[in-house]
A and B are shown apart, each in its own frame.
Chain A
Amino acid sequence: MNPMQIKIEEAKAKGKVGLIPFLPAGFPDREQFWTELAELDAAGASVIEIGMPFSDPVADGPVVEKASLKCLADGINLAWILTELKKRKGQFKAALLLMGYLNPVYQYGLDKFGKDCAEAGVSGLIIADMPLEESQFVKDAIAPHNVALVPLIGLNTTKERMKLYADGAQGFCYFVSVLGTTGQRESLPARIKEKLAEAKEVFDIPVALGFGIKHPDQLAEFEGLMDAAVFGSALISHIQSGNSSASFMEPWK
């Protein structure tokens, strides 16, 4: 079983939702980033999602975009991320996931990427600009290294497409809560429940809800319909205002 799934199931066994915080690699700066990761890990994150910065992040809202562009300006690249993770392999209880866009991974070289992910202790990958139709060559390259491609689905994904995504999927399924980009929202669309129920039916791996989530109170209405929650923009804003990852995680414990 993929470590991401194991970690989420562990949280579930304790009667909790799995926690999946997102931070762009190198945010807020090269050094502090590792402190934040350690805090998120210590606070019980199931999976830590590490952003691979890209110049043209079309699926991201302004908070994530700005943070990622700053990391890019600081010279963060895939080689840095994977080398630094390798040095720290085994230090995190949480499973590690890399999230980004295809082009940087494509330029890095898919086979090398899969191999280096394994050596760095990364067990999952999200590519925001890669739907089912294009995903096979990436899966083929990373599967031998036990790195799973996490499917992203949403409110407009038909049940038929969900089934295609579910076939052979590992780790967890990422359900995007809104038709839109990443970022905090005051309320989540009502249709989520019905579609989450569909996803729960189709996927035999955990289902995580993400985009627009900033506080555990928002999740009460989805109890039983999801297994984990992803939060990024809210965490980034919290850190930008001079607070720690540890304090962000408090209400989630």
Chain B
Amino acid sequence: MKKGYFGDFGGQFIPELLMPPLIELEEAMATILPTEEFQTRFTNMLKENVGRPSAITYCPNLSKDLGLDLWLKREDLNHSGAHKINNTLGQGLLAKMMGKDVLLAETGAGMHGVATTVAAAMLDMKAVIYMGATDVVRQAPNVNRMRLMGAEIVPVESGTKTLKDAINEALRRWLSDQETTHYCFGTAAGPHPFPTLVREFQQIISKEARQQFMDRNAGRLPDVVVACVGGGSNAIGMFHNFVPDESVELVGVEAAGTGEPGCYSSAPLDHGTDGVLHGMLTKLLQTVDGQIEPSHSVAPGLDYPGVGPEHAHLHATGRGHYVTINDEQAINAFKVLSRREGIIPALESSHAVAYAIENKDRLQGKSVLVCLSGRGDKDLGILDQIL
């Protein structure tokens, strides 16, 4: 297989001027990641600062309502409120050990921006965060948190003013500032080596969850493992250590937007075609002319017209099943989980929870382990307008 590819997907479709920093990063992955110094410091940070291992939680009330066994992997309990912190501490430490002093990031929901800012503060680095102007408004609490912790926030006014455009602008900034700056990419997408690097830091989710589930279920594995898919980092982290377990069904949930005919979605695996964006060959929402279509989701972290190449591969081979949940179904799950279990999920994660609710008939009697990728505090403003 070609380097940096997952089956037919992946690659490094990026301007030549970004190849030297990508090669430098690849070399750092090979030389720094395996060192005892890196591994010890990283493990300590995950334990002391993030609060790992995160719990898995059985949901007694919802399980009874739905007629299945519902378990949650609680990435929402992590410091800064989502799975994103696993990746930013890993990349931040790597960058620090590479001698960089700035962490540059894009963010949609703001969770990755917050997590990058936390990593920068902890490691005594500077954080520069690009965020679509639309998202700056709809995720205001996260913008405030980032500012408080010292990030420079750059609102992006171009294009759709969401995650896709924040990535474009961050790549442009990286072109110029590559000597001092590490681009702390927020999801398991982008040019090689990012999909692999991010998976490496996120696979701890399934490493813990698999063991925790077996410990609580007399050595049995879950029947179904579910995660929401924006770029796909929480999902690849949640799937990775279950991929060899053939009995475990892996379900990735993409956002269908409003779900009305003709609306924009954020579901490139379900509705997209092969194409090249942000350094990768993957599934994209695009016109027949190859122009990238705007995406839409009520969950800003899922609002992206592309998807990480490893998911495109799992989709193509059939190992992963990818389905869609619309805004209304996600908002319903947001309310149901809050009311029945006292857990307020992020709108992104609500898409994964909604899968269990909407498919309860098919899932009767099964054990369903859902990645609760983040908490919903950041979304209360959006919900105020809707509820």
Stretch in contact with the other chain, from A127-135, A196-204, A216-224, A242-250: A127-135
- Tell me the complex Cα distance, A28–B268, Å: 33
Interface residues of B in 1-48 (CB under 8 A from A): 3, 11-20
Q: Chain B interface residue count: which class?
A: 20 to 34
Q: Name the residue on B nearest A154 (C-beta).
A: B17
B343 located at the interface, meaning its Cβ lies under 8 Å from any Cβ of chain A in the complex = no
A55 located at the interface, meaning its Cβ lies under 8 Å from any Cβ of chain B in the complex = yes
- In contact, B15 and A179 (Cβ under 8 angstroms): no
Stretch in contact with the other chain, from B167-175, B209-217, B323-331: B167-175
B125 located at the interface, meaning its Cβ lies under 8 Å from any Cβ of chain A in the complex = no
Q: Name the residue on B nearest A104 (C-beta).
A: B290
- In contact, A56 and B292 (Cβ under 8 angstroms): yes
Q: Which residues of A contact B13 (CB under 8 A)?
A: 102, 129-131, 134
Q: Which residues of B contact A158 (CB under 8 A)?
A: 20
- In contact, B168 and A154 (Cβ under 8 angstroms): no
- In contact, B291 and A134 (Cβ under 8 angstroms): no
- In contact, A179 and B276 (Cβ under 8 angstroms): no
Mark A130-170 against chain B: 1 for CB-CB distance below 8 A, else 0. Answer: 11111000000000000000011111111001000000000
- In contact, A78 and B12 (Cβ under 8 angstroms): no
A65 located at the interface, meaning its Cβ lies under 8 Å from any Cβ of chain B in the complex = yes
A176 located at the interface, meaning its Cβ lies under 8 Å from any Cβ of chain B in the complex = yes
| Contact of B291 (CB < 8 Å), options: A72, A105, A181 | A72
Q: Which residues of B contact A57 (CB under 8 A)?
A: 168
Given contacts A134-B12, A157-B20, whether A56 and B286 have CB atoms under 8 Å apart is: no
Given contacts A106-B276, A156-B178, A180-B176, whether A133 and B17 have CB atoms under 8 Å apart is: no
Q: Which residues of B contact A134 (CB under 8 A)?
A: 11-13
- In contact, B17 and A176 (Cβ under 8 angstroms): yes
Distance to closest chain A CB from B189 (angstroms):
14
Given contacts A56-B292, A58-B168, A107-B290, whether A153 and B276 have CB atoms under 8 Å apart is: no
B275 located at the interface, meaning its Cβ lies under 8 Å from any Cβ of chain A in the complex = yes
Given contacts A156-B20, A180-B176, A181-B172, whether A104 and B291 have CB atoms under 8 Å apart is: yes
Distance to closest chain B CB from A21 (angstroms):
21
Q: Which residues of A contact B20 (CB under 8 A)?
A: 156-158
| Contact of B290 (CB < 8 Å), options: A58, A105, A153, A179 | A105
A188 located at the interface, meaning its Cβ lies under 8 Å from any Cβ of chain B in the complex = no
- Tell me the complex Cα distance, A176–B17, Å: 9
A59 located at the interface, meaning its Cβ lies under 8 Å from any Cβ of chain B in the complex = yes
- Tell me the complex Cα distance, A46–B154, Å: 40
Q: Name the residue on B nearest A181 (C-beta).
A: B172
- Tell me the complex Cα distance, A115–B139, Å: 48
Q: Which of B3, B158, B165, B278 has the most CB of A within 10 A?
A: B158
Interface residues in A, total, Cβ within 8 A? 41
Given contacts A55-B291, A107-B290, A133-B19, whether A102 and B276 have CB atoms under 8 Å apart is: yes
Q: Which residues of A contact B178 (CB under 8 A)?
A: 156, 179
Q: Name the residue on A nearest B165 (C-beta).
A: A56
- Tell me the complex Cα distance, A181–B17, Å: 10
A103 located at the interface, meaning its Cβ lies under 8 Å from any Cβ of chain B in the complex = yes
B312 located at the interface, meaning its Cβ lies under 8 Å from any Cβ of chain A in the complex = no
Given contacts A54-B291, A56-B168, A56-B292, whether A103 and B175 have CB atoms under 8 Å apart is: no
Distance to closest chain B CB from A163 (angstroms):
14
B386 located at the interface, meaning its Cβ lies under 8 Å from any Cβ of chain A in the complex = no
Q: Which residues of A contact B171 (CB under 8 A)?
A: 58
Given contacts A56-B292, A104-B290, A156-B17, whether A181 and B279 have CB atoms under 8 Å apart is: no
- In contact, A65 and B292 (Cβ under 8 angstroms): no
Distance to closest chain B CB from A73 (angstroms):
10
- Tell me the complex Cα distance, A106–B286, Å: 12
- Provide 24 A-B residue pairs closer than 8 Å at the C-beta atoms, listed in order of the A residue: A56-B159, A56-B168, A56-B292, A58-B168, A59-B15, A59-B17, A72-B291, A103-B277, A103-B292, A104-B289, A107-B288, A129-B13, A131-B15, A131-B16, A131-B18, A131-B19, A133-B11, A133-B19, A151-B16, A152-B17, A156-B20, A156-B178, A161-B19, A176-B16
Residues on B lying within 8 angstroms of A by beta carbon are 3, 11-20, 158-159, 164-165, 168, 171-172, 175-176, 178, 275-279, 284, 286, 288-292
Residues on A lying within 8 angstroms of B by beta carbon are 54-59, 61, 65, 72, 77-79, 101-108, 128-134, 151-158, 161, 176, 178-181
Q: For the A-B complex with A152-B15, A176-B16 known, give 7 more contacts whose Cβ atoms are closer than 8 Å.
A: A58-B171, A107-B275, A132-B19, A152-B16, A152-B17, A161-B19, A180-B172
